[in-house]
């Protein structure tokens, strides 16, 4: 079995790894680190939770240990799709570089430009940034990228989903072509493959798992629900989520609840909190300081349920997450892989449960096609059988209200007198209403069919032509 000591890392880096409690590298680390140490470009493809971050931070620290940073010219650059992931990468550098004198700067939104400018002006060895904030500093003339020796793109497929690919291409063009590039992604969409073919030079391809696969340590389940009424669907879905949490009991030590929309994140978090569960929301519209506090509370165990949008679906390393609840079925099947990858990390067992309504059938089928298997189904734990009405008791069910035109009121049967057995047709009342359909339909009048004019024919019409002429 390979150990970190077999990967030709410097003694100072190995000491930091040992202090962090790691002895055996993961497959992506075992494949990427030796190639990176040789100075080669690396294309790493692995499912989330496999240790990609250490796969590039450790060789970077080893390679950057020799050299000196210059003002406004960072020596290395790590691009991340979200603020949370960038902050996590910065924490990894702090952990593994504690025995090496390296400076770093974190450029993310929600933080003062002035503080970031001061760090850049002093010179940094490692610059960790989101694409938008990095280009903001560049366009303000506060940053030069011509001194980049190593460039890392982390979670490239998430960059694609968030529309950062044009920014990534521009940033690549601002860096020297002699740079070393480490490119990591969980999936390889055609657009991602085009970028790697353009900007990577003969990369060492390290693929440790079939693309878009879920970890075998994660137990998956889908809870099928069918709303009783459209206007009650959202409420019944929240009730289902709480019932699932109650069903899991003590095995659910903490969990991330994923929603598709930011508005639902706030509503679901408020609902859980209202019913006595320790929950808080996190999404892109919240202030960065609040997002940081919420994540820190979840990591430390102060917060039990983290209700999140997809801002927390990628790259966040919170090892001991027991459950992931998909409150909504993801509209992109790849997002399901990344969401459930928040549990079952580092060899631990995890469980994920997704709530699916009939409207989600199409997206659920796409996820199962991506997985290559069916996800086990389960009925909603809060479904109750319809009440049984006692025989002969017909007052339990309220009459259904018709949406069409209101029917005519009919006389109660009890008040209608039976007609005489032998009633002459001629005795029908003359003011009887004519049937609908008007004249000329051949309808009966009082039971006697009228032919011609009957007794009301004028006498002059009955006269012969000769009698009329003589008269």
Per the CB < 8 A criterion, the answer to whether 337 and 370 are in contact is: yes
Query: What residue ranges define each of the domains in the chain, with the CATH number in brackets?
Result: 4-207 (3.40.50.300), 218-379 (3.40.50.300)
Residue 444: what pLDDT?
47
Q: How far from chain centre, in Å, is Cα 259?
A: 5
Separation between Cα atoms, residue 246 and residue 43, nearest integer Å: 43
Separation between Cα atoms, residue 186 and residue 237, nearest integer Å: 31
**Is the pTM of the predicted complex or chain greater than 0.85?**
no
Query: How far, in Å, are 15, 57, 125, 212, 238 from residue 97 at the CA level?
Result: 10, 9, 11, 32, 45
Burial class (CB in 10 A: 0-12, 13-18, 19+), 391: exposed
Query: How far, in Å, are 173, 439, 442 from residue 427 at the CA level?
Result: 104, 22, 20
Question: For the chain (length 471 residues), average pLDDT per consecutive 10?
Answer: 87 94 90 95 83 92 90 95 89 93 92 91 95 95 95 90 90 96 88 92 85 76 93 94 95 95 94 96 85 89 92 68 95 85 81 96 93 90 50 41 50 44 48 47 50 60 61 54
Separation between Cα atoms, residue 331 and residue 153, nearest integer Å: 25
């Amino acid at each position: 079995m390979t150990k970190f000591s077999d990967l030709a890392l410097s003694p100072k880096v190995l000491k930091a790894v040992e202090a962090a409690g790691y002895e055996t590298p993961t497959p992506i680390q075992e494949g990427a680190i030796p190639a990176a140490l040789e100075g080669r470009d690396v294309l790493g493809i692995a499912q989330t939770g496999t240790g990609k971050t250490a796969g590039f931070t450790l060789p970077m620290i080893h390679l950057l240990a020799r050299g000196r940073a210059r003002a406004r010219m960072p020596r290395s650059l790590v691009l991340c799709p979200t603020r949370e992931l960038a902050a996590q990468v910065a924490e990894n550098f702090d952990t593994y570089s504690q025995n090496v004198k390296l400076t770093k700067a974190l450029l993310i939104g929600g933080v003062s430009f002035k503080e970031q400018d001061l760090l850049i002006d002093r010179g940094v060895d490692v610059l960790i940034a989101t694409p938008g904030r990095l280009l903001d500093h560049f366009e303000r003339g506060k940053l030069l990228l011509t001194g980049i020796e190593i460039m890392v793109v982390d979670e490239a497929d998430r960059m694609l989903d968030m529309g950062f690919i044009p920014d990534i291409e521009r940033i690549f063009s601002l860096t020297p072509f002699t740079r070393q590039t480490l490119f990591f992604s969980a999936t390889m969409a055609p657009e991602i493959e085009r970028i790697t073919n353009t900007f990577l030079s003969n990369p060492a391809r390290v693929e440790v798992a079939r693309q878009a696969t879920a970890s075998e340590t994660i137990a998956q389940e889908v809870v099928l629900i069918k709303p009783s009424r459209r206007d009650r669907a959202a409420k019944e879905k929240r009730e289902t989520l709480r019932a699932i949490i109650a069903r899991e009991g003590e095995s659910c030590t903490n969990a991330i609840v994923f929603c598709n929309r930011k508005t639902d994140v706030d509503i679901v978090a408020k609902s859980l909190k209202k019913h006595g569960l320790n929950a808080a929301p996190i999404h892109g519209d919240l202030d960065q300081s609040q997002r940081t506090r919420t994540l820190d509370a979840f990591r430390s165990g102060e917060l039990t349920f983290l209700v999140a949008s997809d801002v927390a679906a990628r790259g966040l390393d919170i090892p001991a997450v027991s459950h992931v609840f998909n409150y909504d079925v993801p509209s992109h099947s790849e997002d399901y892989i990344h969401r459930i990858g928040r549990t079952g990390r580092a060899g631990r067992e995890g469980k994920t449960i997704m709530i699916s309504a009939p409207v989600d059938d199409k997206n659920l089928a796409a996820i199962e096609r991506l997985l290559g298997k069916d996800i086990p189904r389960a009925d909603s734990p809060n479904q109750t059988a319809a009440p049984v009405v006692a025989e002969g008791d017909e007052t339990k069910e309220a009459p259904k209200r018709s949406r069409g035109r209101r029917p005519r009121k009919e006389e109660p049967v009890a008040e209608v007198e039976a007609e005489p057995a032998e009633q002459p047709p001629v005795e029908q009342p003359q003011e009887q209403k004519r049937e609908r359909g008007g004249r000329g339909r051949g309808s009966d009048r009082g039971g006697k069919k009228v032919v011609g004019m009957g007794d009301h024919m004028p006498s002059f019409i009955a006269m012969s032509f000769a009698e009329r002429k003589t008269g």
